[in-house]
Structure 1
């Protein structure tokens, strides 16, 4: 079995106290269910941003880069369900109700279920992981996610042997997600994504429920989103309500929208240009408009860990 080796920075490099912004104990993972009352859920829709998560440990799957400030992470987003501008999600996502919430798990599984968000957050170990997350416009952030290894969730629901892919679906609620009231350039709802099973089971892939120790901000994909750090950001689907196991490769929103521009895999690859722009360099959000761009790294810097997933594949053809 391959052993994954990642840089393990000192705690001071992983999470700066000044960036945690009123970090405090919120949830005791053991016995959390006892906090719930008979008449309501563990966390109400009015839960505030200062409520913080207690995670079991810092993950070894971190990088030593200084994380972006929380304000950067919350204010510069792609989430077309709330508008097409980078600041639209921060302006509009406050309307989204994130409790109650559940994820339907179906398809080729021996345990089809409805996974409640509170169960997700208490039955599985939360870990803090710091990733560099890129989006298609060649900008990047370093984000300290709090999440659960997707592999742990997959194993718990026993996919059948014929399941080769995992597909995901985002919430459709146009009364709260104003961007769903009209088609964006032909974009249809719900937003859908998918991974090959070995990608989904890789230890770098997580279901994120928080950032900087806080519960996930609405504009970043509350209450639960996918994070696949070696792929472009649009693969990391937000506000997930369904996870299905399939034998056939599932459709994905941006591949449907522009199959010549967005492939199923969408691995970060500086050697394959988008038809309308180069992907050889990137700008780090917060560094200033005139800051020098950095070279884009193959697989977002995780080449050693994930390249074996694509042995023998033509990554220009399978983009």
Structure 2
């Protein structure tokens, strides 16, 4: 199996940096056709679930339009960052999603291949109420919440993302973990027809990630179905993805189809592929470099220069207690 790092050059291709949110120029004909095709395919795939999402507070706009500033008509929540939100166009066109390919533009370019409806999620393993549920039903069980989170990629770039979703803890409580449950394993869709990147052996498919049960139950841990008030697009992990803001981005698995509670620590995709570089915990730690680049600073998309990286991505007050007594000098 050929193993490649998440990005061969962590300072590689990037969108132009600006000091403020730019005005969107008139799209070229190619851009207009591309966005129109993506929107048509997304709406057709979402079907009735789109109506359900638009009825939720915070779902202010279900089109993938060109608004570059998100203005929520609500007070900030207890976990929201007040930092400037990454422009929507950058957040939906600069992505890592190896199921589509290795390039940053592969996800948006190939996103039309993913069919996000119908979609079911299985919850099984060490639970008293295992079940397989349609995403529309799953979504109806919980009120959707807006969360403005920092997102830090292991490659050294970052964004600020306003997610729409529900706490994973609410779902786990509903299925009632047994006393044997210690970890939560997440599995993404495996379908090379829809995910052309899965036709390569760059990783061992399907993509699998995991959390300790206490991490999964933390109120910051979110299952997202939307971004910036809009339905989540395929390139961002539609129709359901994990968001764990204090960990490097590769932990936040996309296009989830199965959630399994286990007694043993799951074998996760990147920690299996390159264990010396990508460990199970993957907590953001600026004091510990990646073996091939520094983690002390980051490049915030849309800004000039670099900024210092914060321990636990700025969420130390909320989550540091989860790791009391652990050696945080390790590259998790």
Question: What TM-score, normalized to structure 2?
Answer: 0.79
Query: Residue 80 of structure 2: SS of its match in structure 1?
Result: coil
Choose from 257, 261, 274 the match for 2:273: 257
Query: Residue 45 of structure 2: SS of its match in structure 1?
Result: coil
Contact preservation (8 Å) 1:209, 1:222: yes
Choose from 309, 312, 315 the match for 1:299: 312
For structure 2, the 5+ residue unaligned runs are 1-20, 25-42, 59-73
Contact preservation (8 Å) 2:86, 2:302: yes
1:128 maps to 146
Deviation at 1:136, TM superposition (A): 1.1
**1:197-253, CA deviations, whole angstroms, 9 ceiling, x for partnerless residues?**
000000000000000111100000000000000000000000000000001000110
> Whose relative contact order is higher, 1 or 2, with alpha carbons under 8 Å and at least 6 apart?
2
2:16 maps to none
RMSD over aligned CA atoms reads 2.0
Alpha-carbon distance between aligned partners in 2 of 1:139 and 1:47, rounded to the nearest angstrom: 34
Question: What TM-score, normalized to structure 1?
Answer: 0.82
**1:119-151, CA deviations, whole angstroms, 9 ceiling, x for partnerless residues?**
121111100000010111110000000010000
Choose from 69, 73, 98 the match for 2:87: 69
Contact preservation (8 Å) 2:290, 2:331: no
**In the comparison of the two structures, how many residue pairs are matched?**
274
Query: Residue 75 of structure 1: SS of its match in structure 2?
Result: coil
Contact preservation (8 Å) 2:46, 2:116: no
For structure 1, the 5+ residue unaligned runs are 1-15, 20-42
Deviation at 1:44, TM superposition (A): 4.8
Deviation at 1:162, TM superposition (A): 0.8
Query: Residue 92 of structure 2: SS of its match in structure 1?
Result: helix
Query: Residue 118 of structure 1: SS of its match in structure 2?
Result: helix
Deviation at 1:176, TM superposition (A): 1.1
Label 1:318 to 1:160 Cα distance change in 2 as closer, same or farther (>3 A): farther
Contact preservation (8 Å) 1:267, 1:299: yes
Runs of 4+ in structure 1 over 3 Å off: 50-59
Deviation at 1:61, TM superposition (A): 1.4
Alpha-carbon distance between aligned partners in 1 of 2:56 and 2:210, rounded to the nearest angstrom: 27
1:232 maps to 248
Alpha-carbon distance between aligned partners in 2 of 1:260 and 1:82, rounded to the nearest angstrom: 25
1:169 aligns with 2:170: no
Query: Residue 140 of structure 1: SS of its match in structure 2?
Result: strand
1:84 aligns with 2:102: yes
2:164 maps to 146
Query: Residue 81 of structure 1: SS of its match in structure 2?
Result: coil
